[in-house]
Amino acid sequence: MKFDTPATSNPIDQLKVVGRPTTRIEGPLKTTGRAPYAYERHDVAPNQAYGHVLGAGIGKGRVVSMETDAARAAPGVIAIVTTLDMAQLPKGKMNTAFLFGGAEIQHYHQAIAVVVAESFEQARDAAGLIRVEYARGEGRFDLTAARPQAKPVDADGKQASAEEADERVGDFEGAFARAEVTLDESYTTPDESHAMMEPHATIAAWDGGKLTIWTSTQMVAWWRRDLAITLGLKPEDVRVDSPYIGGGFGGKLFLRADAVMAALGARAAGRPVKLALARPQVANNTTHRPATIQRIRIGAGRDGRITAIAHESLSGDLPDGQPETAVSQTKLLYAGANRLIAMRLAELDLPEGNSMRAPGEAPGMMALEVAMDEMAERLGLDPVEFRILNDTQVDPSDPSRPFSQRQLIRCLREGAERFGWAQRNASPGRQRNGRWLTGLGMAAGFRNNLVVKSGARVRLGTDGMVTVETDMTDIGTGSYTIIAQTAAEMMGVGLDRVRVRLGDSDFPVSAGSGGQFGGNSSTAGVYAACVKLREAVAQRLGFNAADASFSDGEVRAGNRRVKLEEAAAAQELVAEDRIEFGDLSKRFQQSTFAGHFVEVAVDAFTGEVRVRRMLAVCAAGRILNPISARSQVIGAMTMGVGAALMEELAVDKRHGFFVNHDLAGYEVPVHADIPQQEVVFLDETDPVSSPMKAKGVGELGLCGVGAAVANAIYNATGVRVRDYPVTLDKLLEGLPDIV
């Protein structure tokens, strides 16, 4: 199905099932431990052995030799494969770092061996017996130090001259020089870890030349393709199965070493192998959010209208890597006739930097929305009103291109009213409750709406059950439920008559989970398949498909009614299709918006910060399931608090690794840290987005939160911190005198 014109009335608009607050259909399996995750697939292959990955102990250089005799003689050891046993394996299309093979070390904890043994403990112990000799190289581990060598990159992350890479509208330098009020500040965000609950884990089994992996991945089709490339297999000889995933946040988008090493270990051992990366390897072997150094300049008239805005960002990655696109929201969020957007990318020898929840906007808005607060203060304007004054209903760089929907002003106004923003003291450091300094902060939320082609297969069985099959994954987002709701709505049955099967590469290729595109795109693919199934049902029952309606388990037209199950009484009906998106995203700017509001309390003696309450008002198209959408947003809000207050991978700049590479040293917040979180969804549909008239929402809940927390801390203390995270040591010196 081609989606190239805005959606009109369709069966989803009935909203009998879609849009209803529905508890997760797989919830009972997860809460009772009956939903098997990758490492727990004990029944899928007999006689499983255990693999353990040995990671490189240097950040840059070469492996000179590996002594494995002691390890091979250790109890229970079945096989050992080292990086010196083979040439460097090819990279998959989505990989920046090489995953295995050869002597070169690109980053710390790069996989250099896998040990297979009868038990996990035996494999881990034997891995510790391998003696490795390295030739250490000169590594680049400091983003600030690498800044002079950074190269300009364009919006696609490709190196180009500054003239070609930088995006300019009007005359920024001239307008900024003429502006009556200006701001020119720099902000930094640190490297961050995904820190998902389930580590990267895989079980691998060979059947002749065919490989099956049961793994934890957000993108089944990408892993199948790239695993085939890396191991020199045909894609059809690789099967990937991933029905349940315990979190990903972007860290499981791309093929990782757990799958490759499990496959190599299983081939060497001649039996299935299960393998999980240890938590330090999740931080150093897999991907992370790269650090940024951002400079923001804003010029405005005394009336508060922005006349010039520039956002320049520096980040680093391995050779052939990509920048953290922290400037993306600044292209679109606020009006301003004269604009400059620029990115620079430095080559670093740290572990691979790549997508983490809301890449680009998440760190970018941590800077932009603090800058907007600082500018509002210089202008003597309320931060909410300053943002509203500079709203735009068109792409600022192309006024002929309107937003499909843009209710940012309503998000901000409604949020301010609900949160009690009018009671905020605009003078910082003036509100005190005992030993606690209290303050309110806010920020706009913004995340682009992406759409990706997505396929599904829908069956109407002889038992009258509707079964959906698609390789879409559920990373805790509620994919099972919203897909079931879509099929139930389209086929006119209750949720109890729908089965959903996900995460298997034998199923049609879906959008996958990532980029805030998964829910909207995958349900649109199910919609397309259901349209075909409805046509097949109507034909078999003798209805005109255009006239037939599907409701309450029946197919109806005129005075005639037939039970849906009768269409498949003799033989099941199967339909398969995918949604393909046309050029609507080029003709209309599709984005999602929010207003984030935060109240904090800061200990006047110690500088400790407590988040007391949070509110997000979101405009994100049709909300397919308010319960799962709310869960996504409050989870993202909590993640934003982590980015603001505690999350930072500490870089050892001598040896090139992340020091705090476990959940004892890398702290993350939990919901219990935040007593009150409220989420409001505006009643909105976006026919330009998809037949579902929905958009993504899971990453919008993060974008802007960090800045709202930092702005609240400033309001409470009068201390402006521009280097995240806002830890107490950065507050202590500037705290108001204690009377």
Annotated catalytic residues are: 699
Query: From residue 217, how far is each of 73, 90, 471, 514 by CA, in Å?
Result: 34, 20, 11, 11
Asked if 308 contacts 286 with a C-beta cutoff of 8 angstroms, the reply is no
The residue count of the chain comes to 739
The candidate with the shortest Cα–Cα distance to 489, out of 518, 507, 466, is 466
Query: From residue 709, how far is each of 160, 368, 599, 669 by CA, in Å?
Result: 36, 13, 8, 13
The candidate with the shortest Cα–Cα distance to 139, out of 290, 284, 349, is 349
How far is 381 from 387, CA to CA, in rounded Å? 10
Asked if 500 contacts 489 with a C-beta cutoff of 8 angstroms, the reply is no
With a CB cutoff of 8 Å and minimum separation 6, the contacts of 655 are: 58, 59, 108, 139, 141
Q: What is the number of other CB atoms lying within 10 angstroms of the CB of residue 423?
A: 8
With a CB cutoff of 8 Å and minimum separation 6, the contacts of 21 are: 625, 626, 627
Question: DSSP per residue over 44-70, as a string?
Answer: SSSS-EEEEEEEPSSSSEEEEEEE-HH
Asked if 609 contacts 585 with a C-beta cutoff of 8 angstroms, the reply is no
Amino acid at position 471, single letter? D
Question: DSSP per residue over 386-437, as a string?
Answer: HHHHT--SEETTEEEEEBS---HHHHHHHHHHHHTGGG--SSTT--EETTEE
Asked if 108 contacts 284 with a C-beta cutoff of 8 angstroms, the reply is yes
Question: How many Cα atoms are found within 13 Å in the side-chain-facing hemisphere of 418?
Answer: 21
How far is 480 from 628, CA to CA, in rounded Å? 11
The terminus-to-terminus CA distance of the chain in angstroms comes to: 69
Asked if 630 contacts 658 with a C-beta cutoff of 8 angstroms, the reply is no
Token digits for 536?
A: 């097949």
How far is 635 from 262, CA to CA, in rounded Å? 32
Q: Which residues pair with 203 in a beta bridge?
A: 214, 274
Q: Which residues pair with 224 in a beta bridge?
A: none
- Torsion of the alpha carbons at 69, 73, 79 and 82, rounded to the nearest 10: -20
CA angle at 325 for the pair 219 and 223, rounded to the nearest 5°: 15
Asked if 175 contacts 307 with a C-beta cutoff of 8 angstroms, the reply is yes
How far is 466 from 17, CA to CA, in rounded Å? 15
**DSSP summary character for residue 382:** -
Amino acid at position 518, single letter? G
